[in-house]
Chains A and B, each alone.
Chain A
């Protein structure tokens, strides 16, 4: 699990990584250029404002004349309007970059997720992936757009102010700016601390939210264990931490503020002192003094901005590393370029080049082991005729799911090969085989949307009538009609508005609508009501009829009806044959079967009362 421990913070800036991240701005470089240009223009205008004041002091106030004030006033107001327009343009440009870069990164990460093999999902928690595509991407987008704004503007303002000050009076400039180096050092130190402290606050905050939701979900458990008081005191520890951390964070910023204020006043004071003496001595004008004081007040903003930016970049870099690690992950199962050019990929399939699938599946000396060397399947051979039903039985971990995953090419054999209609399936595209599959999962999964849309998922070109027909074929039609809006009923997120049995029936309809050549059924073990159970048994019968199929079977009726039953134990086939043959053997199958028989019959007796 250690790879999912989140590195929150990177100590050193990694320019290679930022270069990669910045590549995402390339399609929007026009806006980036606009943004940079705009920030430079704005910085220039910002620096010009105090010069206006200087001019006014020296030209109007000191000589006590209003001559030429009208053009001055007009220029002054125009500069204000110009700045307003600049603000509009730069926010739009930055927003464009932020939103579009975010969307682009999300899109390429999602695309990569579609290409990654199932093995990736087996070892990566869903929450981890979702956090990468949401909060991490958001942080990257923000730092790219608004970080550029701050960086360019701050650098430009600082350069311009220093330039202007030096031109006006370099000696005064030197003394006034003497407070900048300590300010920069202190700011770097504090900004980092502040950010770190607020991270801790946010982390604790999400723990609190987690505690609330866990507390609610486990509320009945807590009650039955009479554990309320312990829970509450544990929670109070958490909120106590929150109180501590929040106050600590607030205190660190509270210390930083006075330091900046004092340093700032030293800068202003020096400008006033040294500048004032020079005014008295007549070496500089009043206007220059006013400008210097204004610049001294001003200079602190960009310094604070830049130091905060560097602190934020250290966190954003950690986000960048995680996002790129996802985008750069290589799928285990891939098609060669040659195959892709002939048959297309998932996103642009070239269906007209796809040969029809009759449904013969052959495992030739197939071995499968995980990357850690753990063997799940050893030297497995199996030849399935078109239309043959294969039932896989055995305990959890016996290798049933592995066989199915291999047959579907979710995994590929580490040794040996698998042939579809006599051809090694690696010589065709993944899409070719997988488009011809019908698959019903043990825990049915539906997508948000209507019942109609969910069934159509199995064949995107199907008409409403075809959808209804396939629902009828698997006895799902009746219950669907009874739903609030029939076929147009929203099933809710993950289909949660339907019962498990109903979800199962819909997923059967979804599987048959594409008339798949090969069918995979992973039977559910959980019990459902009798009526639905009957419908599901009918559905199974319809679906398996005359179709190559692999069934991870639990129901007796399904097992009995299979053409061939494989009993698996520790990755090997220990018994194989028809139901009668295996029953007569009185071996492992016999035990499994009688056990299941008891469970089913008992249920029947109890529920018939």
Chain B
């Protein structure tokens, strides 16, 4: 409980002043709102009715100065103006409340969102491989929204209602104790009723949300699987399936609605019952002379000001549980340990001389993925890696960007131990092109300039030409400004891959790594891209994972990786002369030429 409370007070940090202003304003607004009925009472009883005023003496002094109540009765417009001024003050206070409340709650949600997003960008590589995207996104959206609603609407509502209740009770108690007590009789019942209702109805909400979810799922699968539906002529079947879910959702929503009809009518009934009791008793007391007409009016007015918020209060208390759960879910993400980025922070000049010495690596709870790997490559050279799935190829190149850190042995880049080099620096200098191309829903131009936002059009065109996609992009209606994704074009696998390569080479990295990135383009284009690359990137150390002999054979060093071990290494001539995987592939692929 204390930790929950801590989470809550943590939210207030930096916003306490705003909340104080908002709370003060809301209380002022309440006071002004409560005075109006008193003015009307004074008008009815004293000004019009000629009864002596039961007001503080200083106030009576003011009235005397303007000529006494008699004079007022011929100048009721003065009271009209008083009413308008009160309303204006009330309005001003309400304005200030809304303004500061919005600032406070919006800056809270701004902070939460920013910290969540930042956190999600600072976690270790491994986290993303296992991440449950849907659940995380929900925490970042609907949970944040729940917290925002509470901090922006509900929290102040509680303060407002409590304050209003206290003031009203203290005013009405001085006006008439009995009537005051009667007017509050049903408050606890009403509040409890709505509290219990909103706790209970949560289950039904969940059911209806789930029904809606499975309805959307059927719809979505029908659309994405439209070819299957058509190929089997299952339109009728699909329609029935959809209708069933549609009806389930409809019936559940209707049930929910019915339950709400019960709630609103029952609570309305309770509220009107309370109002009628006060009215009838008030009328009776006024008729027998215990209270004045104006007092009766004040009671009726106050009662209707207070009773609906009281009902609302029950709901807010019920929602509080939801808000603490959301807060905890957000907190869980925020307390994930981040990737360690502050090493010795070495930022050496990187030319591209790389040396692996007895490097071994294994993932958590699994055997060695890389076992005693040793090789070295000089600036500007190309290393090609060949090996079956699971042989450790991808792991090897992930080590180079320090996405994982090797456990044994040493990797040196230009003489500096890799583990000592600042990770960010390293990743900026070593371009890694993953096998699975991911593009952001931005324009093509922005996607290419992703890691070099200030790149000129000339640079962008240059790299696009290197990967032979310039003409294809020019062919789109909006050219380089074409959006990628649902609202724009869908690129083919090969096109995506080329954009991804373009965005990596635009940075002029001294080291480039291709994780089988050219497999999605055909052999001709593959060769074309590599030729262009070689010309433009003469001094770049390159790692290529590939199955294509034409690609492999041009490398300065070819590594054959099997079960985490280097089983063969050398250049093309050497490996062709050795018995092994490389030779067999070479034989096969050249026999066909």
Contacts and interface: CB of A to CB of B under 8 A. Distances in A.
**Do A and B make up one complex?**
yes
B219 interface: yes
A438 to B, nearest CB: 8
A605 interface: yes
Majority-rule SS of A interface residues: helix
26 contacts: A80-B275, A95-B261, A96-B254, A110-B242, A114-B222, A126-B223, A209-B141, A212-B140, A212-B141, A219-B128, A220-B125, A220-B438, A240-B110, A243-B110, A265-B87, A269-B83, A290-B293, A290-B297, A346-B235, A346-B239, A349-B236, A408-B230, A441-B231, A603-B547, A605-B588, A606-B388
Nearest to B121: A228
Interface in B39-86: 40, 43-44, 47-48, 73, 76-77, 79-81, 83-84, 86
Given A60-B286, A218-B440, A434-B232, A250 B102 contact: yes
Contact of A64 (B113, B287, B562): B287
Given A114-B239, A214-B440, A91 B228 contact: no
Given A61-B293, A607-B388, A246 B235 contact: no
Interface string A275-294: 01101100000100110010
B268 A224 contact: no
A121 interface: yes
B230 A118 contact: yes
A87 B264 contact: yes
Contacts of B279: 52-53, 56, 76
A92 B257 contact: yes
Given A88-B262, A220-B434, A227-B450, 8 more contacts: A62-B293, A84-B269, A209-B141, A211-B117, A232-B118, A262-B87, A445-B227, A602-B589
Given A60-B283, A224-B401, A408-B231, A273 B79 contact: yes
B216 to A, nearest CB: 6
A257 B136 contact: no
Given A103-B246, A243-B110, A247-B102, A226 B223 contact: no
Q: Closest 3 CB pairs between A and B?
A: A258-B91, A95-B257, A439-B231
A225 B40 contact: no
A347 B297 contact: no
B128 A220 contact: yes
A129 interface: yes
A88 B88 contact: no
Contacts of B264: 87-88, 91
A272 B219 contact: no
B219 A130 contact: yes
A359 to B, nearest CB: 16
Contacts of B401: 224
Contacts of B84: 262, 265-266, 269
A597 interface: yes
Contact of A251 (B99, B216, B253, B275): B99
Interface residues of A, number: 152
Given A213-B137, A261-B94, A270 B80 contact: yes
A348 B236 contact: yes
A258 B84 CA distance: 11
Interface string A511-531: 000100000100000000000
Interface stretch (A65-73, A315-323, A418-426, A554-562): A65-73
Nearest to A52: B279
B261 A246 contact: no
A216 interface: yes
Interface string A421-459: 000000000110011011101000111100000000110
Contacts of A289: 44, 48
A418 B503 CA distance: 48
Contacts of A247: 99, 102-103, 106
B176 interface: no
B223 A223 contact: no
Interface stretch (B344-352, B373-381, B424-432): B424-432
Interface stretch (B157-165, B306-314, B486-494): B486-494
A445 B228 contact: yes
B547 A437 contact: no
B257 A98 contact: yes
A114 B221 contact: no
A127 interface: yes
Interface string A192-228: 0000000000000100111111111111111111111
A245 B572 CA distance: 62
Contact of B117 (A85, A212, A273): A212
Interface string B240-277: 00110011011101100110111011101100110110
B284 A66 contact: yes
Contacts of B228: 439, 441, 445, 447, 457, 507
Interface of B: 36, 40, 43-44, 47-48, 73, 76-77, 79-81, 83-84, 86-88, 90-92, 94-95, 97-99, 101-103, 106-107, 109-110, 113-114, 116-118, 120-123, 125, 128-129, 131, 133, 136-137, 140-141, 145, 214, 216-239, 242-243, 246-247, 249-251, 253-254, 257-258, 260-262, 264-266, 268-269, 272-273, 275-276, 279-280, 283-284, 286-289, 293, 296-297, 300, 386-389, 401, 403, 424, 427-428, 432, 434, 438, 440-441, 450-451, 453, 486-488, 492, 503-504, 522-523, 547-549, 562, 581, 584-585, 588-589, 592
A587 interface: no
A396 interface: yes
Given A61-B293, A243-B110, A272 B231 contact: no
B434 A221 contact: yes
Interface string A525-560: 000000000000000000000000000000000000
A576 B592 CA distance: 23
Contact of A606 (B43, B86, B585): B585
Interface in A90-114: 91-92, 94-96, 98-100, 102-103, 106-107, 110-111, 113-114
A110 B219 contact: yes
B520 to A, nearest CB: 9
A67 B280 CA distance: 13
A215 B121 contact: yes
A599 B589 CA distance: 9
Contacts of B272: 80, 83-84
Contacts of B387: 606
Contact of A447 (B98, B225, B300): B225
Contacts of B113: 208, 235, 239, 242
Nearest to B500: A221
B136 A261 contact: no
A100 B549 CA distance: 64
A243 B106 contact: yes
A304 B589 CA distance: 79
A238 B80 CA distance: 48
A77 interface: yes
B265 A85 contact: yes
Contacts of B80: 266, 269-270, 272-273
A353 interface: no
B125 A84 contact: no
A60 B389 contact: no
Contacts of A232: 114, 117-118, 121
A457 B251 CA distance: 27
Given A255-B95, A434-B231, A73 B280 contact: yes
A246 B144 CA distance: 15
Nearest to A87: B265
A213 to B, nearest CB: 5
A591 to B, nearest CB: 10
A100 B233 contact: no
A292 B237 CA distance: 62
A219 B117 CA distance: 11
A434 B230 contact: yes
Contact of A457 (B97, B122, B232, B432): B232
A101 to B, nearest CB: 10
Contacts of B238: 114
A457 B450 CA distance: 45
A214 to B, nearest CB: 6
